[in-house]
Amino acid sequence: MKKIILTADRPTGNLHIGHYVGSIANRLKLQEQNDYEKYYIMIADTQALTDNADNVDKVKNNIIQVAIDYLSAGIDPNKVEIFIQSQVPELAEMTMYFMNLVTVARLTRNPTVKDEIKQRGFANSLPVGFLCYPISQAADICAFNANCIPVGEDQLPMLEQAREIVRSFNHAYGKEVLTLPEPLLPENEACRRLPGIDGGLKMSKSAGNCIYLKDEPEEIKRKVMSAYTDPNHIKISDPGKVEGNVVFKYLDAFATDESFKKFLPEYKNLEELKAHYRNGGLGDVKIKLFLNNVLQELLAPIRERRKALEKDIDSIYKMLFENGKKVRKIAGETILRMKEAMGLDYEKLLKKEN
């Protein structure tokens, strides 16, 4: 079976280096491999509104920001259909049908959603839409018959929920109407959930602990130099802890043996650097300056491309709107198939009467 790829980001801010290693790098690889039937990337504005209902402008303004981030990271609009979620209203219709197949208890058990509810301090003000966003995410995937979903680890519970919905739907309505999606995680474990610069479990736009793809060189350096390391590693001679140390986590994700040759040739690789840090005698400033060099090298060309793209925002909007119209047709075909399977194809009744 050929791959149908779909993945998405919430337009709640610019994309950060967690997105890059967690999902964008795999998207670029898939784009290069070229063995897919269809390839969609969705800007999930409807989903972003589930916790930003009072901040529509933020969501609206970030749509173009995320689109520019994609293009500057190397996503090729000739190979990938990038579109805006709310321009495909069929997704909302599908969500309604799916809602009947999921219990409230199941939704409240979702570990990612649980964490996000806590992080946002929702307690008694939890919007129904937010609790249900895993269901709408299942609709996004199913509408396009997607079977390959490049994501970070926090999305695994969403994929599990989507798979349950597909099974329930196909079971309830007796047909293989919907396709089972598979997550595609980064091979490198360190890339699956990049922590925040503050040591928070996950770098995320909503937590404000990010290094953004668009950050200027001074900003990147400032953030790297402030990153959480080992609070007990006070003097250079102290032995340091690598586990839970954000700088080493980032190096796990971004540094290659090539990076050492280029920026820190006195060490052969990351293992050697870690061993020195553990034994004592290696200061935080040195490892941070190395990380800074590695990140600057990755982000400079992305930032340059962004500057060029920012000059013609209209053509990016036009591309998004055109794609929205195109992909709507596909979602429409899926909804028709679903309704037929459910027996909601009422026009058939009319034909019988005539």
Q: Where do contacts with ligand ATP occur on this chain (CB under 6 A)?
A: 9-10, 12, 18-19, 22-23, 151-152, 154-155, 192-194, 202-206
**CB-wise, 165 or 246, nearer to ligand ATP?**
246
Count of all residues that appear for the chain in the document: 354
R_g of the chain, CA atoms, integer Å: 22
What b/e sequence results for 224-247 when a residue is b if at least 16 CB atoms lie within 10 Å of its CB, and e otherwise?
Answer: beebbbbeebeeeeeebebeebbb
**How many angstroms separate the CA atoms of 228 and 217, rounded?**
19
Tokens of 47: 């989903």
| DSSP conformation letters of 299-310 | HHHHHHHHHHHG
What is the distance between the alpha carbons of residues 5 and 200, in angstroms, rounded to a whole number?
30
Which residue, chain included where needed, has tokens 């089972």? 180
Give whichever of 11 and 240 is closer to ligand ATP, judged by the CB atom.
Answer: 11
Distance in Å, CB of 20 to ligand ATP, minimum:
9
Question: Toward ligand ATP, which CB reaches closer, 155 or 292?
Answer: 155
Q: How far apart are CA 255 and CA 21, in angstroms?
A: 12
Is the CB of 144 or the CB of 277 nearer to ligand ATP? 144
Query: Distance between CA atoms of 66 and 85, rounded to whole angstroms?
Result: 13
In the complex, minimum distance from the CB of residue 294 to ligand ATP, in angstroms, rounded to a whole number: 17
Smaller CB distance to ligand ATP: residue 155 or 161?
155
CB of residue 10 to ligand ATP, shortest distance in Å: 4
- Positions of E strands within 113-196: 148-150, 182-184
Contact 315, 38 (CB under 8 A): no
In the complex, what is the shortest distance from the CB of residue 196 to ligand ATP, in angstroms, rounded to a whole number?
7
Q: How much of the chain is helix, strand and coil, in % rounded to 5?
A: 60, 10, 30
Residues sharing a CB contact under 8 Å with residue 86, sequence separation 6 or more, in sequence order = 45, 46
CB nearer to ligand ATP: give 61 or 237: 61
Is the CB of 157 or the CB of 283 nearer to ligand ATP? 157
Residue with tokens 């009744």: 349
Q: Do 3 and 37 touch, CB atoms closer than 8 A?
A: yes
For the record, the structure tokens of 5 come out as 């790829």
User: Residue number with the shortest CB distance to ligand ATP?
Assistant: 22
**Half-sphere exposure of residue 50, counting CA atoms within 13 Å on the CB side?**
22
Minimum CB–partner distance for residue 42 and ligand ATP (Å)? 10
| Nearest residue (CB) to ligand ATP, 23 versus 277 | 23
| Minimum distance from residue 177 beta carbon to ligand ATP (Å) | 26
Q: How far is the CB of 183 from ligand ATP (least distance, A)?
A: 9
Closer CB to ligand ATP, residue 90 or residue 154? 154
Question: Of 225, 105, 204, 115, whose CA–CA distance to 161 is shortest?
Answer: 105
